[in-house]
Structure 1
Amino acid sequence: MKNRIRLLRREKGLSQQALGERVGVSRQTISALEAERYEPSIWLAHDIARVFGLPIEEVFLFAESPHKSRAESSRTGAQRQRRERGSLL
């Protein structure tokens, strides 16, 4: 998920360790978020946004996520199952 964590963290003068401590996660988690290798829970996204005093959508750019959401994956799987069941009838 695209985000502005690294930029905002540096503007605020925080290390990855310090930001992690403020939101209750490890430095490695902050690193993975900044590298877009990890998508946060809504609660973690909220806590990170609060540290910067910004709304979530100004920190995390949801529309640009290259990953299929869990809801989208679930819908796709359910649609495929319905099609498969329909062809068996």
Structure 2
Amino acid sequence: MIFNRIKILRAENDWTQADLAEKLNISRQAIISIEKYKYAPSLELAFKIAKVFNVSINEVFQYKEDKNDK
């Protein structure tokens, strides 16, 4: 499963979901879905998210192997 730190990074920057959505030119609903792990962003969007926070993609997204993946 891919985990993300978007909610944490938003809080550190004092951004709302709407603020981030506007910066990325996507809907607020998309941000909600990504934060709740209901939607995995495309690779392009993942890089854009990292760029708006000025961090590496590894600081936003992390893969953790699920027990069922083995």
The TM tier, using the shorter chain, reads: 0.7 to 0.9
Q: TM-score, normalised by structure 2?
A: 0.86
The aligned residue for residue 64 of structure 2 is: 64
Counterpart Cα distance in 2 of 1:27 and 1:21:
8
Amino acid at match of 1:44: L
Q: RMSD of aligned C-alpha atoms?
A: 1.2
The aligned residue for residue 48 of structure 2 is: 47
More strand by share: 2
8 Å CA contact retained: 1:49, 1:55: yes
The aligned residue for residue 4 of structure 2 is: 3
CA-CA distance at 1:24 after TM superposition: 1.2
1:12-42 deviation line (CA, Å, top 9, x unaligned): 0110011001011100000111111110001
Gaps of 5+ in 2: none
More helix by share: 1
Larger radius of gyration: 1
SS at match of 1:22: helix
1:62-87 deviation line (CA, Å, top 9, x unaligned): x2165xxxxxxxxxxxxxxxxxxxxx
Gaps of 5+ in 1: 67-89
Residue identity over aligned pairs, in percent, reads 42
Q: TM-score, normalised by structure 1?
A: 0.69
User: How many residues were matched structurally?
Assistant: 65
